[in-house]
Structure 1
Amino acid sequence: MQAAAIERKHAAIWRTLADLSDPEIPVVSLRELGILRDVRTGADGMPEVVITPTYSGCPAMGQIEDDVCAALAHAGIDARVVTQLAPAWTTDWMSDTAREKLRAYGIAPPQCGSSHDVLTFVRRPLSREVVPCPQCGSHHTTETSPFGSTACKSMYRCLDCLEPFDYFKPY
């Protein structure tokens, strides 16, 4: 297949999957979250859609793969889905649009990502970062549980508006 034809096919796949939403957070697309990593051509010439889970035990990955396959089939595109664990997903891969959509949906977006020094993170386990409330913007919040509605989130509560909210954990 010529390079131009491959490029057109890859572009059609990206267009087909552009608005495919995350099954756990339907206001954000897989591409905006950075889960949809790449469209490439496999060694056998078959197009491959590369997805990377937010963490290796993410229970939504089966649904995400099914949704990608269904969208491709609906568009008449023959391609396979490949789950790639390395490099590991990081919240740094989230687009600014995804962060704003999370906030508008009531989930506090991650304040930082993997670019921070791991040793600093390990040395400061008791000092929590300030997580602004996505409802009222207050910085007067507290973590109520490190376990939120999904494993990639923790539970917080705003001490001003008293609303509970999820915080997308930085990885």
Structure 2
Amino acid sequence: MVNNSIATNAIWKILETVKDPEVPVLSVVDLGVIRAVALEEQRVTVTITPTYTGCPAMDMISMHIKMALNAAGYQTTIQTVLSPAWTTDWMTENGKQQLKAYGIAPPMGKSFDQAYLDNLIVPCPQCNSTHTVLVSQFGSTACKALYKCEECKEPFDYFKCH
């Protein structure tokens, strides 16, 4: 019989290889959408919380989780839980560093309100300048805002807090 703790750790390692299709430098673990893993014999239930209700990437993420775990010999069930709502606080520090290295400004702060983006100073992930301006509350995806750096003139996405 396999030690359940060792097997669960192996499952988490597999999940670290599953990438977010919208931000391929982030694993679903670093993104913080994996809420729980339950193992019973070769049956795995992975509980996920989408970054946004109705996030179109979640179907692809679920499919990639199932494919990765099925390839390792597990029968996999994905359970989606909406409450509590996902927050950027669940992202790993490693994930935030990967975002910046990829050219996306990582989330700052812990709250999101109407004036949140208007009053936020987001450092440019390219040159680290704080002389940046909000161009649009929505960037390449709904979970990002579009900014422009006034120093290096580069546009960049900011991964919004919520």
Q: Give the TM-score normalised by structure 1.
A: 0.86
Alpha-carbon distance in structure 2 between the residues aligned to 1:128 and 1:29 = 30
The DSSP-based 3-state class of the residue aligned with 1:79 is: strand
* 2:31–2:90 CA contact under 8 A, matched in 1: yes
Match of 1:145 among 136, 141, 151: 136
Alpha-carbon distance in structure 2 between the residues aligned to 1:46 and 1:16 = 15
Match of 2:106 among 99, 106, 109: 109
Match of 1:71 among 68, 75, 98: 68
Gaps of 5+ in 1: none
CA RMSD of aligned residues (A): 2.2
Change (3 A) 1:156 1:46: same
Runs of 4+ in 1 over 6 A off after TM superposition: none
Gaps of 5+ in 2: none
Provide the residue aligned with 1:160 in structure 2.
Answer: 151
* 1:49–1:79 CA contact under 8 A, matched in 2: yes
Structure 2 residue identity aligned to 1:75 = A
Aligned residues: 162
Provide the residue aligned with 1:134 in structure 2.
Answer: 125
Alpha-carbon distance in structure 2 between the residues aligned to 1:105 and 1:15 = 22
Match of 1:20 among 18, 21, 24: 18
Q: Give the TM-score normalised by structure 2.
A: 0.91
Q: Which of 1 and 2 has greater Rg?
A: 1
Alpha-carbon distance in structure 1 between the residues aligned to 2:99 and 2:77 = 29
Following superposition, the deviation at residue 46 of structure 1 comes to: 4.0
